[in-house]
Amino acid sequence: MKRVTELLYQKTVRVYALLCLLLFIVTMMSLSIGTSYIPLSEVWQHFLGISDGEHDFTINVLRLPRLLLAFLVGAALSVSGLILQSIIRNPLASPDIIGITAGGSVGAMLFIVFLMGMISIHWLPLAAILGATFVAIMVYILAWSNGVTPIRLVLIGIGVSAAMNAIVTLLIVVSETAVTTKAYLWLTGSLYGATFIDVYGMLPWVLIFIPLTFILAKTISVLELGDELATSLGVNVQFIRFALLFISVALAGSAVAFAGGIGFIGLIAPHIAKKLVGYTFHILVPLAALVGGVMVMIADLIARTAFLPLDIPAGVFTAGVGAPFFIYLLYRNRHI
C-alpha cells in the first residue's frame, strides 16, 4: 500500500511539473508571437530587467494582461466545472452546459445595455453572478421531480441555456449599434483589449473561491459517496451542496463578466485532470485550475496569431474542441 501511495505521489509530481513547463512555454510564446515578433531572448531579458525597453509597451500593456486574464478565466471555469461534476455526480455537468454561463451572460448584458454609464463597471461581475445564480436555482427547481436525476438536470439546463441565449439575442437587437458590436465579441468569448484593471478585477474571485474549494475538498469527496453516507458521517449535505453551488456560480459568473462566453472549458479541463491523476479531489482542484488556465491561454494564442491580422475570439476555438467532446460524453453516458 505504501508503495502504491509513493507511485501515485511521484506521478502527481511529474504531472504538475510537466504542466508547469507547458505553462512556461505557452507564456513565453504568447509574449513573443503576434503582429510584431519579439525574440524569446528579449522577452526573457525583459523579465530579468535588463532589456532596452523597446518592447515594454507590447509586453506590459498589450500581451501580459491578456495572458494573465486568460489563465485566471480558464482556472475559474475549470474549477467551477469540477465542482458541478462532483456534487451532481454527472460527467456532463459544466457551467455552460447546464446554463450557468448563459445566466451570467444575461446578467452581464442587462448591466451593459441598461446600466452602463450609470453605475461603475466594477459592478459588472456582480450582475453576471446574480444572473448565473438565478439560472442555477431555476434549473435545479425545474429538474426536481421526486429528486433530481443527472440526465434530467443536464437536459433542463440545456433548455434553460437556450432560453437565456434567446434573451441575450433580444437584448442585442434592441441595443445601440456600438453596444451590439462589443456584445457579439464578448459573448463569443474574447480577451481582446484586456488590461490590468480586468486582471485585478478577476483576481480576487480566483484567490478567494478556488482556495475555498480546496479547503472543502475532503467534504466533497464524502459527498461523492452518496447523500446517505455523507449524512451518517455528520456532513450537513444540503448546506455544503448549496455552498459549493454558490462557489461554482461565483467562479463561472466572474469569468463570464471579464471574458464573455468562453465555452466548454468547465467541461473538458476537469476530465483531463481526472485522466492525469485520478479522482482525489484535493489534488484535482489545483490541477484542474492549471489545466483550464493553460487551455484558455493556448486558445487565445491561436485566436490572435493564426489568422493575422485578424484577432479571432478565443471562444471560437474552445467551442470547436468542446462541442465534439460533449457529443462524445453524451454518447458514452447515454444509459445514465
Task: Locate the domains of the chain by residue range.
Answer: 69-332
Q: How far is CA 132 from the centre of its chain?
A: 13
pTM: 0.88
Structural Rg of the chain based on CA atoms: 20
The superfamily in CATH containing domain 69-332 is ABC transporter involved in vitamin B12 uptake, BtuC (1.10.3470.10)
The whole-number pLDDT of residue 29 equals 92
Is 35 within 8 Å of 62 (Cβ atoms)? no
Residue 328 burial (CB count, 10 A): 10
H-run or E-run covering 232: helix 227-232
In this prediction, residue 146 carries a pLDDT of 67
**Which residue, 32, 36, 33, 35, is CA-closest to 308?**
35
At residue 149, φ and ψ (nearest 5 deg) are: -90, 150
How high is the pLDDT of residue 294?
Answer: 94
The predicted structure's pLDDT at residue 203: 93
The pLDDT of residue 35 is 84
93 Cβ neighbours under 8 A, 6+ residues apart: 81, 84, 85, 150, 153, 154
What pLDDT is recorded for position 100? 86
- What pLDDT digit, counting tens, does each position of 245-265 carry? 889 888 988 898 888 878 889
pLDDT score at 89:
77
Give the residue ranges of the chain where pLDDT is below 70.
Answer: 1-9, 146-151, 182, 185-186, 227, 330, 333-336
Strand partners, 308: none
Supply 294's cell numbers. Answer: 493553460
Could you count the other beta carbons within 10 Å of the beta carbon of residue 108? 29
User: Residues, the chain, total?
Assistant: 336
